[in-house]
Chain A
Amino acid sequence: MLTVIILFLCLAILLYFLLGGADFGAGIIELFTSEANRQRTRSTSYQAIGPVWEANHMWLVIAVVILFVGFPNIYSVMCTYLHIPILAMLMGIIARGTAFTFRHYDAIKGYRTQTLYNSIFIYSSFLTPLFLGIIAGSALSRRIDTEATNFADAYIFCWLNGFSIAVGLFTVALCGFLAAIYLIGEADNDFDIKRFFKKAKMLNIVAFFCGGLVFLAAETSNIRMAKWIFGNPVSLIAVILASLSLVLLWVSINRGKRYIIRVFAAFQVSMILLSVGYTHYPYFITEKNGNHLSLLTDHASASTVNVLGWALVVGSLFILPALGYLFYSFRGHTDHD
């Protein structure tokens, strides 16, 4: 059953990154859209994510619940030492979700209130994945110092460092890229489709450079990134496949394929997560002193793991088909009242 809950944890993280990431990305794209076209972007992204964003958001909750029930030690260490970035991410989540809902459900669409909701939405859409990336970067990179004796070392520098921030920026770029790809398939006119194609290309390039930034930051802070990624066959193959899918993605973009690109984009991002995740597995947190918190050893008792596993298996029998039908029903153009 331990394997089951680990699989569900990975699935939840991956789906949150892909689906929730595309939601955040919609806001990021809006942020980097000219004033003249923002309204168009807004209405396409509303149509695309309106019916599904609440559900997309749930993958985070599932991941957190798996962590605190199944891996309490990992959850507790993260919550203690990464308190500040988690808090910042939460601020982003609350601001973003409510602004998104409020701007649609405000019965009086006043210019000033809408402007306020919009700016809250777009900035928090940027900040949330930034901090998500920072948290991930900090957990993996020997940054958490459980033996620190002063405030700054214990609670600040474990996440406020070049590498974590580079991972954060890379995450933002990937979210924006995923959203652009997703919106291409949701737009209902040629003008917007072309715009989103352009955005997707641009954000793919930005993501590529942010990825380079991560390597650079790793190099300067003695993190053996190259060993992480090229040091074992699985990660290496994942990276090769990601690169191949990148080529196929660009070919498809240039041929104007609207839907197949989603597969390549999702595949590409999954492979990036796999290559980093595999090399660390089963470790979830590596502390400064070299201690590892491992999914295979730092888990709850067998009885808890069993019950959690069954809850997830049975729950997913309800959730996954329903979620699939939701996406299927609202694909492409959405009518909303």
Chain B
Amino acid sequence: MDDFLAARSQMALSLGFHIIYSCIGMVMPVFMAIAHYQYIKTGNVVYKNITQAWSKGVAIFFATGAVSGTMLSFELGLLWPKFMLHAGPIFGMPFSLEGVAFFIEAIALGFFLYGWNKFNKWFHWFTGVLVGVSGILSGILVVSANSWMNSPAGFNYVNGKYTNIDPMKAMFNGAWFSEALHMTIAAFAATGFAVAGIHALMIYHKQNISFHTRAFKIAIVFGAVAAILQPLSGDLSAKHAAKNQPAKLAAMEAYFETQEYAPLVIGGIPDTATKKVNYGIEIPGLLSFLVHDDFKTAVKGLDQIPVNEQPPVAITHYAFQIMVGLGMIMLAIGILYLICIWKKNNWLFKPWFLKLFIFATPLGFIALEAGWTVTEVGRQPWIIQDIMRTSEAVTPMPGIQYSFYLFTFIYFTLSVAVIVLLQRQIKMVPVVYDVK
């Protein structure tokens, strides 16, 4: 493995793991605060139990999210020192604010986790809300830094020099809104479905029904609503990509040839040699309509992009298809759940209904990883779109593959540990929270 590939793999691995930890760490506190509010309002101890049970998950994910995030802030420099040398001062603004938001989150979490029976109940509740709010804020800020890489702004690039730096303009770059919106909704959808799925499994096994149904209902409302909203934000993102990163959009769609009435290709196996997609379903004009609101307008294809500036088509295309496909399944399940509430149908205890949610447990996170792959792989070969190539940014230090192996080992171990810990927490629910 050469150093460049090793550095890219290590970055992908680190972000791939961090994204899961941090999404859960930012969404779970919101669920927790809602359960907590229900407890304060109704005095029903089941809600207190749910709050405390979830808070343990939050503590575990916050700790892993915080340390993996710290690793990332160093890895940016360890792996891409030349990128950080130029980019740091330009896109650093959201990172500084994220540092502040994350700090507040850490303080609030200290109050919340250790503050039971110590503070005024509303103050204690508020600290939990603050964990959620600052978590979401830091998520949005970090994504804004990433969106700058896709849509660089706030500086002039003349003769290899970065001048006229305006950190605020860089932060509010063209892609920040659509990307942050898409990512935040994705975090809610993925975490909502994952949490709901685990509680559905417990209801299915007829354990602590009252505890798990209440928990399930809080989580799935967020999951369902987010899954239903997500295609709209996805449309915004795609339109932005079409305008600013045509190569990425073309790779997502495996769209080789510029044409009018551009078709939307669903599925299929892209063949870069023949520049064709085999076995895909083509819907004529739909791609034109989606990006230009008009069936006729041509969409820029890969044929108009120099070969050395094209992202890997197959990976981007498959990842995009996986994301959209899973998103659609989650959308359908979300709608089904809303119908269930609306009809006041008591499907919730029907095995088929529960099985559906158990099946959906990991879907959001797979979609999340796939979507992130689209964003990052679709930007290649650029680390800063059209300005700096990823290969120019890599550290001169050799032997990065060993660091990659080490990180793989660490993240793998950490994930196993987190899964085991959660499993043990769930297993202990009857022991800790059953009313005796």
Contact = CB atoms under 8 A, between A and B. Distances in A.
Nearest to A64: B73
Interface string B84-113: 111011101101110110111011111101
B60 A101 contact: yes
A91 B410 contact: yes
A225 interface: no
A62 interface: yes
Given A51-B110, A69-B92, A337-B116, A105 B85 contact: no
Interface in B47-76: 52, 56, 59-60, 62-64, 66-71, 73-74, 76
B425 A107 contact: yes
B150 to A, nearest CB: 20
Contact of B88 (A51, A68, A94): A68
Interface of B: 52, 56, 59-60, 62-64, 66-71, 73-74, 76-78, 81-82, 84-86, 88-90, 92-93, 95-97, 99-100, 102-104, 106-111, 113-119, 163, 165-168, 395-399, 403, 406, 410, 414, 417, 421, 424-425, 427-428, 432
Q: Interface on chain B toward A: helix, strand, loop, or mixed SS?
A: helix
Interface stretch (A53-61, A242-250, A288-296): A53-61
Contacts of B425: 105, 107
B427 A97 contact: no
A86 B34 CA distance: 40
B106 A58 contact: yes
Contacts of B403: 87
Nearest to B91: A69
Nearest to B113: A51
A315 B424 CA distance: 38
A284 to B, nearest CB: 14
B102 A58 contact: yes
B428 A319 contact: no
B167 A105 contact: no
A55 B102 CA distance: 9
A154 to B, nearest CB: 8
Interface residues of A, number: 64
Interface in A80-97: 80, 83, 86-87, 90-91, 93-94, 97
Nearest to A154: B397
Nearest to A52: B110
A102 interface: yes
A87 B405 CA distance: 13
A329 interface: yes
Contacts of B110: 51-52, 54-55, 326, 330
